[in-house]
Chains A and B, each alone.
Chain A
């Protein structure tokens, strides 16, 4: 059940070429870090996989299904198996933590009942288990905006857990957080990857995080794939290919 990205290209209406013929295949259980400068196309790539952004051309095939050709109905069925977490957490700030987590289940529950705000008790239990897993069960009734950034991202992970995902797309999940908190968040993602066997595609800024968590790295520069290999293969030459001649390696 690999994820095949085939000559994926995205050109925005204003003419910006965000992705150009990017191709790669991800096997089940991989932890793929996507690196590159801001604007290299990392976010666009992740969003083209679940079609939050419509690719201009190319295909994305997952589990043998062509996501890029799916009807809206099929697309919702596919999306509910693909978890996603975001740099800005994207929680509904005025809703409770529990409600935020439950929304991860919207693709599975009865849509009409969900519009009335009803979730079956089994789903509420599932949400509580997800919150326990990220250590936030006692904050279930708090409003999301009362939580710290790190806690909010853990709610984001719990929401993704509700989908029982086979694939997790993580768009700079720790870029808005204190570096100290980065590891705590990435450890949850790593656990999902190792224990539950969820395939992870995660864009990251810091190379030391890439070395610590990723099993494979894809480097993007100006929308073009310039590197695809193991983290320890990134030497100074490769580093400058990805980040440009002026870039300096810090740490990692």
Chain B
């Protein structure tokens, strides 16, 4: 007998070992991949971006003027060409130059103390079918918005017969809330409302259903027992389908967007709350029910006066708890087409826009943990 058990232990141990070895192989666990140079580089990129979410961005200002310079000069015309752009910046420079020389370029009316870039801009030509650009120099404008710079006329310019010289002043303005943050806040609100709607709709459906799934209320007589088992079984079957799967189905059914998300979360919440509610109903004190039946009250009166007062607060606690859960889930239903912040987060990740993705991730962290706290405090308060 004892040897028998020993063998069973050995066989059981080997079997377990085999299962684990097989699983390791099947899921392709390869820890090296986490730290391979390329992977590590990507991870560093993602995480540093996440640590610097895009919250504020500087307002970018740009002024741009250009003037044509012919190379080489055809006649001895040396009067400076002037480009005026109304009240804006003006550029002073010779209209033509010989290759290998330097010309003096002057500007006025630019934004004071800003970055100034000069570049040659080539029109499309047989040699340069797409046109092109060539850096010509950089400086800063002075307090009056002026600059002066010498620019070299390189032989390349002669080959093109000249080019337009572009002066571009760039500066960083005030910091403003980034469009990514605005979008994140907008979608986060959508996410919270999505969870709120789903929780509310689900409560309306689950509350009456839960009475049918409560043994002490429904499981009386053959019909009641049948109804009880039917509702119970439905709850258990639907509960085994993850909300994300349900969301994917609804996204195909009613189209991508928050409505699909609301439907999916509602279904998931109905079955979960239905089960939780029915357990609350099953654990009420039967004393008041008995007492009211003895006074000649009918079933609805008994539910109204003996059952509901006992279940209101536990129900409320579960509803708040589930709203919390739903906010958590609604942040990801967007990944499968359910709307909310998840949809945008997936887009940003796919576009490798990790700073923006970081904004969304931090917003999720903030909202979910805040809801966690609020829901815990609310549930404490109503106990």
Partner of A94, one of B290, B292, B298, B309: B309
* Contact segment of B41-49, B69-77, B181-189, B300-308: B300-308
User: With A and B bound together, what is the CA distance between A126 and B131 in angstroms?
Assistant: 99
B128 at the interface (CB under 8 A from A): no
Tally of A-B residue pairs with Cβ under 8 A?
A: 84
Partner of A84, one of B288, B294, B298, B312: B294
Judge whether B305 and A103 touch: CB under 8 Å: yes
Q: Which residues of A have CB within 8 Å of B291?
A: 84, 86, 90-91, 103, 156, 159
Judge whether A106 and B287 touch: CB under 8 Å: no
Partner of B297, one of A78, A95, A103: A103
Known contacts: A92-B310, A94-B310. The answer to whether A111 contacts B293 by CB under 8 A is no
| Residue interface mask A83-103, B partner, CB < 8 A = 1 | 110101111111100010001
With CB as the reference atom, state the residue of chain B lying closest to A160. B295
Judge whether B297 and A107 touch: CB under 8 Å: yes
Judge whether A163 and B296 touch: CB under 8 Å: yes
Judge whether A106 and B292 touch: CB under 8 Å: yes
Q: Which residues of A have CB within 8 Å of B285?
A: 93
Measured between C-beta atoms, what is the minimum distance from B207 to chain A in Å?
15
Judge whether B290 and A103 touch: CB under 8 Å: no
Q: Which residues of A have CB within 8 Å of B290?
A: 52, 86, 90
Size of interface on B: residues with Cβ below 8 Å to A: 21
Judge whether A104 and B305 touch: CB under 8 Å: no
Judge whether A114 and B296 touch: CB under 8 Å: no
Judge whether A107 and B305 touch: CB under 8 Å: no
Judge whether B297 and A82 touch: CB under 8 Å: no
Judge whether B309 and A77 touch: CB under 8 Å: no
Known contacts: A90-B290, A106-B301, A114-B301. The answer to whether A95 contacts B296 by CB under 8 A is no
Known contacts: A95-B305, A95-B309, A114-B301. The answer to whether A107 contacts B287 by CB under 8 A is no
User: With A and B bound together, what is the CA distance between A182 and B267 in angstroms?
Assistant: 54
With CB as the reference atom, state the residue of chain A lying closest to B287. A90
Q: Which residues of A have CB within 8 Å of B310?
A: 92-94
Q: Which of A135-175 contact B (CB under 8 A)?
A: 156, 159, 162-163, 169
| Residue interface mask B63-106, A partner, CB < 8 A = 1 | 00000000000000000000000000000000000000000000
Judge whether A79 and B296 touch: CB under 8 Å: yes
| Residue interface mask B313-333, A partner, CB < 8 A = 1 | 100000000000000000000
A187 at the interface (CB under 8 A from B): no
Q: Which of A56-98 contact B (CB under 8 A)?
A: 76-84, 86, 88-95
Known contacts: A79-B293, A94-B310. The answer to whether A88 contacts B298 by CB under 8 A is no
Partner of A106, one of B296, B309, B312, B313: B296
Q: Which residues of B have CB within 8 Å of A95?
A: 305, 309
Q: Which residues of A have CB within 8 Å of B297?
A: 76, 103, 106-107
Partner of B294, one of A50, A88, A89, A93: A50
A250 at the interface (CB under 8 A from B): no
Partner of A52, one of B288, B294, B300: B294
Measured between C-beta atoms, what is the minimum distance from B57 to chain A in Å?
54
Partner of B301, one of A81, A115, A159: A115
Partner of A111, one of B292, B295, B301, B313: B301
Measured between C-beta atoms, what is the minimum distance from B298 to chain A in Å?
6
Measured between C-beta atoms, what is the minimum distance from A55 to chain B in Å?
16
User: With A and B bound together, what is the CA distance between A66 and B304 in angstroms?
Assistant: 29
Judge whether B294 and A111 touch: CB under 8 Å: no
With CB as the reference atom, state the residue of chain B lying closest to A81. B296
With CB as the reference atom, state the residue of chain A lying closest to B293. A52
Measured between C-beta atoms, what is the minimum distance from B306 to chain A in Å?
6
Q: Which residues of B have CB within 8 Å of A83?
A: 294-295
Judge whether B288 and A107 touch: CB under 8 Å: no
Q: Which residues of B have CB within 8 Å of A103?
A: 291-292, 295, 297, 305-306
Q: Which residues of A have CB within 8 Å of B312?
A: 94
Measured between C-beta atoms, what is the minimum distance from B151 to chain A in Å?
87
Judge whether A115 and B296 touch: CB under 8 Å: no
Q: Which residues of B have CB within 8 Å of A80?
A: 295-296
Residues of chain A touching chain B, judged by Cβ–Cβ distance below 8 Å, are: 50, 52, 76-84, 86, 88-95, 99, 103-108, 111, 114-115, 117, 156, 159, 162-163, 169
List 19 additional contacts besides A52-B293, A91-B288; criterion CB under 8 Å. Answer: A50-B294, A52-B290, A77-B296, A81-B296, A83-B295, A84-B294, A84-B295, A86-B287, A86-B290, A90-B291, A94-B309, A103-B292, A103-B297, A103-B305, A105-B295, A107-B295, A114-B304, A115-B300, A115-B301
Residues of chain B touching chain A, judged by Cβ–Cβ distance below 8 Å, are: 285, 287-288, 290-298, 300-301, 304-306, 309-310, 312-313
- Listed from nearest, the 3 A-B pairs whose CB atoms lie closest are A107-B296, A80-B296, A90-B287
